[in-house]
Amino acid sequence: MSSTPEIDTGTTADDAAFWTTSFAEWLPGPGDSLLRAYSDAVNKRLLDRWLPERCGQVLKTDLFDEVAGDGLVRFLLGRADRVIGIDIAESVVGVASARNPRLEATRADVRSLPFADATFDVVVSTSTLDHFETERDLGQALSELHRVLRPGGSLIVTLDNASNPLVALRNVLPYSLLHRIKLVPYPTGVTTGLAGLQGLVEAVGFEVSDVDAIMQVPRIAVRSAGTVAVGDPARVDRLLAALLRVEPPRSLPFHRRSGQFVAVRAIRRPSESAARKDRPQTISAPSRLSGGPRAIAMRVLGRTIYRRLIWMELDLDQRPAGLDPSVPLEFSFLGVADLDEIAAFRPGLSRASAEERLHQGHRCFGARHDGRLASTRWIATGWAPMEYLGVAQKVPSGTSFLYDLYTDPAVRGLRIAPATASALCRVLEEEGVRTVTAAVHPDNAPALAHGKRYGLKPVGKVGLIRIMGVRRWFRRSC
């Protein structure tokens, strides 16, 4: 086995010692063989869809998969000329290397990688970055992955899905309790939902090309099923086949919330431009329970059965003066003839979904610079769609609901977004619209700040409570 050189990565001794100890104390439970097989199979499906046929050099950002189960290295070697793996724990590196002789493994911290710029053609990071305590560490790790990728190279990254109710509940319960009852083998860290991960990846300079939510069956259910197949490989195989049949198509409406992990495929731009960091980022830190019984109860409710958004409004006759963009723009509504362009421009929005929006009477307003889309936003009348809540709010006559605002990361910072908002408000006012509304997640401070800058004011909250299949919608004024 050849190996990459061992270099000082800047990893603190405490971090390395902690994960080395965690691995030494980790013992697979009776249902873990099925869980690991399920995890590997789902990840291989994802890689089979997203990896190029030939990959050159591939970096895998941790090696726990390779010591807890079969892992992904053998699959990657079927596509790559070389696979280099890192892990913060020396003992994990040793076991993974022994099991995979063609793997080039070294101890390293993903926040400070011991590789030159533009070294890899592909980076595969499966549930590595959701073990940090701070958002800053997560962002630093993504910046490092961007640095070591060659222009045009691919990043495939997954994180725990903060929008999944079970993941959200796990993240607010004390780790000591979860570890004691053997639900989690090691601490979890900050994480996010699909939109938040997409924003983080774009903020460091990547261009998102596809998104997904994977591993639809809860881990606790898989472990329970695995306990009946201990010592019976044939039965494990039958259960695994059944689990994989449960993975639903991406078109189902609950797909992004039911997946245990969110996944993003992104490309490092072939011609680099400065990364704009003004995209709102939705990070959901695993706030541990403190502050007394009432605070604990409210935090658990907020992560599981209770969802809310801030309702914001702007009277168009009181809107602030618009900002002039730094580059020339052309504004227009986009239609059916523009569907391919809309889908190519907006990561995560398929042509079919955009067409369905237009079919429902929604409109897409766009700004073009040099003939190419630079910014879009969607407008609905009659009903305000709120995917996060899974409901639509009726809006009165003379009111338009604004949603899904997106600006190309390569041109952010040029005042294109506020100029587009101002132009849209002028057009809507000419059409007789009196009020523009929007709904923003209360933890999305950047989006709230942007809305207020455009003149939108918080006027209340809208939300949904779901208990045992009973759904109750509410709206409250400030």
- Per-residue pLDDT of the chain (478 residues), as tens digits, is 333 333 333 344 455 555 565 555 555 666 788 888 999 999 999 999 999 888 999 999 999 999 988 999 999 999 999 999 999 888 899 999 999 999 999 999 998 899 999 999 999 999 999 888 777 788 889 999 999 999 999 999 999 998 888 887 777 776 666 666 666 666 677 888 888 888 889 888 899 999 999 999 888 888 888 888 888 888 888 999 999 887 766 656 677 888 999 999 999 987 554 333 333 344 444 444 444 454 445 455 555 577 788 899 999 988 777 667 888 999 999 999 999 999 888 877 788 889 989 998 999 999 999 999 999 999 999 988 887 777 788 888 999 999 988 888 778 778 888 899 899 999 999 999 999 999 988 767 667 777 777 788 999 988 878 665 566 778 888 6
Token representation of residue 59: 């970096």
Phi, psi (5° rounding) for residue 310? -85, 125
Is the pTM higher than 0.85? The answer reads: no
Phi, psi (5° rounding) for residue 139? -65, -40
**Angle in degrees, CA 224, 218, 44, rounded to 5:** 105
At residue 2, the pLDDT reads: 35
Conformation bin of residue 390: beta by default, left when phi > 0, alpha when psi is -120 to 50: left
Task: Point out which residues pair with 365 in neighbouring strands.
Answer: 333, 377
Instruction: Give the list of residues 6+ apart from residue 32 with CB closer than 8 angstroms, or none.
Output: 68, 223, 226
CA Rg value for the chain: 24
Residue 218 near residue 204, CB atoms below 8 Å = no
At residue 408, the pLDDT reads: 85
CA atoms within 13 A on the CB side of 258: 13
| List of domains in the chain | 13-295 (3.40.50.150), 305-477 (3.40.630.30)
Phi, psi (5° rounding) for residue 469? 85, -10
